[in-house]
Amino acid sequence: MSEHITNESYVASVRMGVVDTARLMLGGQLNFLEGARVLSSLRHEAAVRDDDPDFMTFVVIDSETDDPPIGTVRQHWSKEALEKLESECKDAEVWAKKIGTEACESLIRRFHV
């Protein structure tokens, strides 16, 4: 007999993923730029309002920092190009952490079961 996943259980699993991502960000295991992209992409699946302030923080971070290469895409960039962008990437990460920390904490409080 196969199990049928309900919308409620799907949303709950997405929200657990949101909590896990936010915790990784706050713990330093996932940088805020990558984490913002993940959280921004989960906004609709987490069944929140389109203008949810916590998620909108990550939409803004994602939108404002879409130029610097982050994550696995960096492997396709030359070492020289990455070195030139290093300062920009660090500055973007500091900014993202500054404005994203409170939103991470709020998402954890809201969705931690």
Q: What percentage of residues in the chain have a pLDDT greater than 70?
A: 90
Whole-structure pTM value: 0.86
Q: CA-to-CA distance for 1 and 11, rounded, in angstroms?
A: 23
For residue 24, give the nearest of 15, 34, 14, 10 by alpha carbon: 34
Mean pLDDT is lowest, of 30-34, 70-74, 89-93, 109-113, for: 70-74
The whole-number pLDDT of residue 72 equals: 72
Domains of the chain, by residue range, sit at 7-111
With H, G, I as helix, E, B as strand and everything else as coil, classify residue 47: coil
Give dist(CA 46, CA 2) in Å, integer.
Answer: 24
pLDDT at 1: 47
Average pLDDT of the segment spanning 59-85:
79
User: How many CB atoms sit inside 10 A of residue 93's CB?
Assistant: 18
Tell me how far apart the alpha carbons of residues 1 and 112 are, in angstroms, rounded to a whole number: 30
Confidence band for 88, pLDDT divided at 50, 70 and 90: confident
